A and B are shown apart, each in its own frame.
Chain A
Amino acid sequence: MAQLTRRTTDLLKPFSAALSSTRLLTTTSTTPITVETSLPFTGHKIDPPSRSVETTPQELMNFFRDMALMRRMEIAADSLYKAKLIRGFCHLYDGQEAVSVGMEAAITKKDCIITAYRDHCIFLGRGGTLLECFAELMGRKDGCSKGKGGSMHFYKKDSGFYGGHGIVGAQIPLGCGLAFAQKYSKDENVTFAMYGDGAANQGQLFEALNMAALWDLPAILVCENNHYGMGTAEWRAAKSPAYYKRGDYVPGLKANGMDAFAVKQACKFAKEHALKNGPIILEMDTYRYHGHSMSDPGSTYRTRDEISGVRQERDPIERIRKLVLSHDLATEKELKDIEKEVRKEVDEAIAQAKESPMPDPSELFTNVHVKGFGVEAFGADRKELRAVLP
């Protein structure tokens, strides 16, 4: 991520700034810090891991910066949508950042992640750039899918991110398929198949889970329970909203999804389990500040008090801010400076994305196949012929 390049530019700053940088640098060594998760884990047919999580000052600062970047990106996307630069669907992740960031801290890019349509921050976590994000959202050729996918179809195969899927629940069997392939190839890596509380009731989840358990696939099903499936609260959709228990014969673990360290611990635990024993379900108790998508105000099925309450008590970035301050890793001002930097980075990426042109009309016909045999493809007017790839 951009994280590492920023560290080197810090080194080049003048002495006065270097003083604060120096303090960061001496404590940004890998001196271990132990952090307690905010809540204990609850296990289903498994002994939960310890609440004590090993971390380092560097990791804490990374968590803060990465989540601040994700938060800023989503808020900027909101404005771009209202300015009609982003069209169609736009599902924002603000509030849920800790799940992506905590997960990345526990795994490698050889492990796979697949998710549904609320994918912008997961993509960023996997190493995608802001430019690729914004350009894709605005349908420009520098987007990660060259403008042909849109908000719901971000991919980054080279770092194990398989999308980006619009059909609720479909990503779960696909994720189990990735795990199948990892096992077939003897890769010793795992797949995290992420889904929401709405998708948790899908039949194909149970079909895939059954096969994953039968065949001991290294699949980890991660339910990001933000308590609302679009406008339907979990208690109206699920007879049993204890999603970590829904696997029945498959063990489960519930963690506080607003606590990046709880997420990290849960994912680390799950990875070890999946490699030895097959599938496990993780439930991340999280929350989204925005509505389901930009066409949903998000306040008709929940109260504004609830939303602001969560923001006050459980915001993931605030939690890290308090940890950083209490461990004396940075001052309030330094953290605010990071947030300003992040805001600037996002603004620059947006400006660059706006400069990116729309895809050439000939791109309408590319990538339909990998191998097209020179077959004719027709446009809407049926007069223009375009040969598809030979």
Chain B
Amino acid sequence: MSADPKVFLMGEEVGEYQGAYKISKGLLEKYGPDRVVDTPITEAGFTGIGVGAAYYGLRPVIEFMTFNFSMQAIDHIINSAAKSNYMSAGQISVPIVFRGPNGAAAGVGAQHSQCYAAWYASCPGLKVLVPYSSEDARGLLKAAIRDPDPVVFLENELLYGESFPVSAETLDSSFCLPIGKAKIEREGKDVTITAFSKMVGYALQAADILAKEGISAEVINLRSIRPLDRSTINASVRKTNRLITVEEGFPQHGIGAEICASVLEDSFEYLDAPVERIAGADVPMPYAANLERISVPQVEDILQLTKVGRRLICKKTNEAE
């Protein structure tokens, strides 16, 4: 916002309330009400207004209090934003960012817990970014705002409270991450685990436990769901020959399904075992704590795939020793 006067933030409670999750704390005071705009609870209306402002040349950042409410505005995201550059053969570009928390939180129930990564990532014309760490959040959000195309930026409510170590480079004001590139969070040899958002943390925990059992897991933080970094994923699978995809959202037609298909197309001969998908349970999110716990993937779910008797046996590191 300080670099470009055309950037403005619009959404519910972003101004005087300091942000529903305090993400925009202090921005109203710093930039004023013209650039930090509180809206009524009318997603279809303010999303359309944001897209119209982007048509004119401004660079809006539209906040959804959670992406569940983006469904009220999804026509504007898809039909008014994503497709415009194509339908107008380049005349009308839409430099807009739609951001907010996505996926499950804690005990918020079925209508407030859905993950929208798969829905938005299937649409040509959109870019879909998903940060995990603080470095991701800073670098990817800046890239998203600078990008001339519509970007869906899926954050995570539970990750807002987590701290991550950051390098001096990350703190520099010009720090930006590339769109379309995944990050190998942890290198490994025996199995590839792809994940995004909160699940990256779980995958890393699983990798730590697996390392003690002599299995070296490579954890890929996808960062960019659309465009998907197929080359990093495939290069990794060609190295490890085994793949686990992890996501929080519903399993059918999910991110794991796309990654699995991509790997089958590009690296079939390299697979030593079928691709395994870990995803949320195929049910609307329940409220009761114990049911909620078994509706989202846990670290144990990733681990039990590598146990004896499962298809994905990884023993390479042991053999090397």
Contacts and interface: CB of A to CB of B under 8 A. Distances in A.
Contacts of B76: 170, 173-174
B79 interface: yes
Given A203-B44, A377-B124, A177 B50 contact: yes
Given A166-B79, A375-B180, A173 B45 contact: yes
Contacts of B48: 170, 172-174, 176-177, 204, 207-208
Given A370-B149, A377-B124, A149 B56 contact: no
Contacts of B52: 114, 162, 173-181
A155 B44 contact: no
Given A162-B92, A368-B124, A181 B57 contact: yes
Given A176-B52, A204-B45, A148 B87 contact: yes
B55 interface: yes
Contact of A149 (B42, B44, B89): B89
A371 interface: yes
Given A145-B88, A184-B8, A112 B56 contact: yes
A173 to B, nearest CB: 2
B92 A173 contact: no
A162 B44 contact: no
B58 interface: yes
A21 interface: no
B91 A157 contact: yes
A149 B88 contact: yes
B51 A174 contact: yes
B75 interface: yes
B87 A145 contact: yes
B97 to A, nearest CB: 14
B319 interface: no
Interface in A29-63: none
For B46, B58, B87, B149, the residue with the greatest tally of chain A CB atoms inside 10 Å of its CB is B87
Contacts of A203: 44
A147 B86 CA distance: 11
Interface in B70-110: 75-76, 79-80, 84-93, 95
Interface string A354-389: 000000000000111111010111000010000000
A207 B47 CA distance: 10
B54 interface: yes
B169 interface: no
Contact of B49 (A163, A165, A211, A370): A211
Contact of B39 (A153, A174, A175, A211): A211
A214 interface: yes
A157 B84 CA distance: 12
Interface in B152-204: 178-180
Interface residues of B, number: 48
B58 A163 contact: no
B53 A149 contact: no
B272 interface: no
A119 to B, nearest CB: 12
B125 interface: yes
Contacts of B269: none
A205 B304 CA distance: 52
Contact of A207 (B45, B54, B88): B45
A370 B53 contact: no
Contacts of B26: none
Nearest to B45: A207
B205 to A, nearest CB: 31
Contacts of A167: 75, 79-80
Contacts of A112: 56
B91 A369 contact: no
A326 B166 CA distance: 80
Interface in A313-371: 366-371
B92 A184 contact: no
Contacts of A185: 56-58
A154 to B, nearest CB: 9
Given A170-B76, A178-B53, A375-B227, A369 B42 contact: no
Nearest to B265: A382
Contacts of B39: 211
Contacts of B42: 207, 210-211
B88 A155 contact: yes
A103 to B, nearest CB: 19
A146 B124 CA distance: 19
Nearest to A136: B89
Nearest to A215: B37
Nearest to B85: A367
Nearest to A208: B45
Contacts of B34: 184
B89 A146 contact: yes
A182 interface: yes
Contacts of B40: 207, 210-211, 214
A30 B204 CA distance: 78
For A182, A208, A214, the residue with the greatest tally of chain B CB atoms inside 10 Å of its CB is A208
Nearest to A191: B52
A204 B44 contact: yes
A215 B37 CA distance: 10
B16 interface: no
29 contacts: A114-B52, A146-B89, A148-B86, A149-B88, A153-B88, A156-B91, A162-B56, A167-B75, A170-B79, A173-B46, A173-B47, A174-B55, A175-B52, A179-B52, A180-B58, A181-B55, A184-B53, A203-B44, A204-B45, A210-B45, A211-B40, A211-B46, A368-B85, A370-B148, A370-B149, A371-B147, A373-B227, A376-B230, A382-B265
Nearest 8 CB-CB pairings of A with B: A177-B52, A173-B48, A207-B45, A181-B56, A207-B42, A146-B89, A174-B52, A370-B148
Given A146-B89, A148-B87, A181-B58, 9 more contacts: A149-B87, A155-B88, A163-B84, A167-B79, A173-B45, A181-B52, A181-B53, A184-B8, A185-B58
